[in-house]
């Protein structure tokens, strides 16, 4: 049990962590990968290069140190991280490795200021957080195996079909290789996939939202090919899926996780997406359509061009079928194809002819600046922050609510 004195010592390091948090976690990751290189197969090495994961961990450690008197307030954050951890099969024994390197990194970065008392305080604090997190994750693993078709860890799946949806996005229909059922996901959830990359000589995991409502048989993921102006920096796994994965191949898949899900409500549901950010929202919309829900539904989507735009036919079909569904599409560049409910430019809610019903539930997904813009515009249009839900396709770095 952490003492009051130890809590004070940990809290006193918050200003230092604020200044040096990212440097500390950067140092920590370098140290951990040097001593435990096998963990390179567990982490997204792309996120290590762009620094996103270091920032996410630094922010989590800071939030913990800040709230050491009442860690319960962190439960929503612990839940979101826990979902990511269980989707990557992180187990309690991993916390020992992370603890060893995090505490050593604190000692190395703080230098002579790192007294034995301070380090002991951090050790007690870290293992208290580790117990809280791995305890919560144990309950998530239990929930998974308690479900029909559920499993914990990795399970081989067969790519039964590979369907091109647009110039950028291709869908993969994943069926369990063992012929069993799949656990029902909550629309909006993601799976992790793990593939071996000969280029790195490593296994690499990535998350992909399930882009259909639950059906008991398969998961569909829809992957955007991430290209860069320098071909050496093209996205590793998305290009591997597009170029190297064929029908009949096997990939390891973890069971559905994630806290960005359709809320239980009767209010209108407004889905706002940019590019491939539409995948979790397509699953939510399909669920509402399948359930025959009479809720007012609004689909607002932005795409670079009509050619890059995926699932347009599907959403148009739903729009024809369901009078309570309206769709608005924005194209950055459409060469004169902007007519009817199509708009030109970035998604701009203020341009919508019928305006926005502020008393609705809003679901946002897309690039970080897209989410920020739509979130702030919704607030200006009088929407209550608690009715806006969003997900980033990477370590969660926005703290808008
Ligand atoms: C919850 C969640 C759900 C997701 N759902 C989907 C989904 O439904 N569909 C989907 O397509 N994606 C989704 N993603 C994103 C997906 O997980 C991957 O992040 C994405 O496919 C890119 O992975 P990659 O391996 O191709 O790119 P990485 O190799 O990881 O690179 C990431 C990006 O950085 C660029 N890059 C790489 N190295 C450098 C460098 N040195 N300097 C500058 N830039 C660099 C790459 O070009 C690329 O754009 C989701 C992510 C999360 C967290
Ligand atoms: C107290 C300890 C820990 C804290 C505070 C912590 C915090 C975090 C945070 C904030 C994220 C980002 C979540 C998101 O936004 O999606 C994350 C992701 C992750 N964590 Fe942890 N974590 C801890 C322990 C561990 C352990 C023990 C491991 C395993 C060795 C681990 C492996 C990972 C991996 C692989 C990811 C995903 C990284 C990525 O996608 O780049 N974490 N963690």
Fold of 4-146: Globin-like (1.10.490)
Q: Starting from the edge strand earliest in sequence, which strands make up the sheet with 297-303, in order?
A: 342-344, 325-331, 297-303, 269-274, 361-365, 388-391
Kindly report, as residue ranges, where domains of CATH 1.10.490.10 are found in the chain.
Answer: 4-146
Does ligand 2 come within 6 angstroms of the Cβ of 60? yes
Q: Residue 351's pLDDT is what?
A: 87
Q: Residue 65's pLDDT is what?
A: 84
The DSSP 8-state label assigned to residue 296 in this structure reads -
Residue 137: active-site member = yes
Closest C-alpha residue for ligand 1 atom 39: 233
Does ligand 2 come within 6 angstroms of the Cβ of 85? yes
> Which tokens in the block code for residue 275?
């590019």
Q: Residue 20's pLDDT is what?
A: 83
Report CA(228)–ligand 2 centroid distance (Å).
27
Does ligand 1 come within 6 angstroms of the Cβ of 48? no
Report CA(226)–ligand 1 centroid distance (Å).
7
Q: Residue 375's pLDDT is what?
A: 98
Does ligand 1 come within 6 angstroms of the Cβ of 229? no
- The vertex-116 CA angle with 115 and 121, nearest 5°, equals 100
Residue 331: active-site member = no
Instruction: Name residues whose C-beta falls within 8 Å of residue 106's C-beta, 6 or more positions apart in sequence.
Output: 24, 114, 119, 122
Q: Residue 354's pLDDT is what?
A: 80
Give tens-digit pLDDT for 148-182.
999 999 999 999 999 999 999 999 999 999 999 99
Q: How many angstroms separate the CA atoms of 52 and 107, rounded?
A: 23
Kindly report, as residue ranges, where domains of CATH 2.40.30.10 are found in the chain.
Answer: 154-254
Q: How many angstroms separate the CA atoms of 102 and 32, rounded?
A: 8
Ligand nearest to the CA of 61: 2
The DSSP 8-state label assigned to residue 362 in this structure reads E
Does ligand 1 come within 6 angstroms of the Cβ of 190? yes
Percent of the chain beyond pLDDT 70?
96
Give tens-digit pLDDT for 182-233.
999 999 999 999 999 998 999 999 999 999 999 999 999 999 999 999 988 8
Q: How many angstroms separate the CA atoms of 71 and 68, rounded?
A: 5
Q: Residue 374's pLDDT is what?
A: 98
For the domain covering 154-254, report its CATH number.
2.40.30.10
- The vertex-64 CA angle with 62 and 66, nearest 5°, equals 70
Q: Of 263, 213, 209, 206, which Cα lies nearest the Cα of 45?
A: 206
Catalytically annotated residue among 64, 95, 173, 219: 95
Does ligand 1 come within 6 angstroms of the Cβ of 53? no
Element (H, E) at 318: helix 312-321
Kindly report, as residue ranges, where domains of CATH 3.40.50.80 are found in the chain.
Answer: 269-391
Ligand nearest to the CA of 49: 1
> Which tokens in the block code for residue 159?
């790519």
Does the domain at residues 269-391 carry the CATH identifier 3.40.50.80?
yes
Give tens-digit pLDDT for 118-135.
999 999 999 999 999 999
């Amino acid at each position: 049990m952490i003492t009051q004195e130890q809590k004070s010592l940990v809290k006193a390091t918050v200003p230092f962590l604020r200044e040096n948090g990212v440097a500390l976690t950067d140092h920590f990751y370098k140290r951990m990968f040097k001593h435990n290189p096998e963990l390179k197969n567990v982490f997204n090495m792309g996120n290590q290069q762009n620094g996103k994961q270091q920032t996410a961990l630094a922010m989590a450690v800071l939030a913990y140190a800040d709230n050491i008197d009442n860690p319960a307030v962190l439960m929503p954050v612990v839940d979101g991280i826990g979902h990511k951890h269980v989707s990557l099969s992180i187990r309690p024994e991993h916390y020992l490795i992370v603890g060893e390197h995090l505490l050593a990194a604190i000692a190395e970065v703080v230098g002579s200021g790192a007294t034995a008392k301070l380090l002991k305080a951090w050790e007690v604090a870290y293992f208290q957080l580790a117990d809280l997190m791995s305890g919560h994750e144990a309950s998530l693993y239990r929930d998974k195996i308690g479900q029909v078709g559920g499993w914990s860890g990795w399970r081989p799946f067969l790519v039964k079909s590979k369907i091109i949806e647009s110039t950028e996005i291709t869908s993969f229909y994943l069926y369990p290789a063992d012929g069993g059922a799949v656990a029902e996901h909550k629309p909006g959830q993601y799976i992790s996939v793990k593939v071996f990359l000969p280029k790195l000589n490593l296994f690499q995991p990535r998350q992909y939202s399930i882009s259909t409502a639950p059906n008991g048989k398969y998961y569909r993921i829809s992957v955007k090919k991430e290209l860069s102006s320098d071909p050496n920096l093209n996205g590793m796994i998305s290009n591997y899926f597009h170029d190297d994965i064929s029908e009949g191949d096997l990939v390891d898949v973890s069971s559905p996780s994630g806290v960005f899900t359709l809320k239980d409500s009767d209010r209108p549901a407004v889905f706002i997406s940019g590019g491939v950010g539409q995948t979790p929202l397509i699953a939510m919309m399909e669920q509402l359509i399948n359930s025959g829900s009479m809720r007012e539904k609004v689909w607002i989507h932005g795409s670079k061009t009509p050619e890059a735009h995926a699932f347009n036919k599907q959403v148009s079909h739903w729009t024809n079928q369901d009078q309570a569904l309206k769709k608005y599409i924005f194209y950055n560049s459409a060469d004169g194809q902007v007519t009817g409910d199509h708009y030109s430019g970035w998604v701009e809610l203020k341009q919508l002819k019928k305006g926005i019903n502020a008393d609705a539930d809003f679901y946002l997904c897309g690039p970080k600046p897209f989410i920020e813009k739509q979130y702030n515009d919704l607030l200006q249009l009088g929407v209550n922050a608690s009715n806006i839900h969003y997900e980033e396709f990477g370590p969660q770095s926005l703290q808008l609510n």
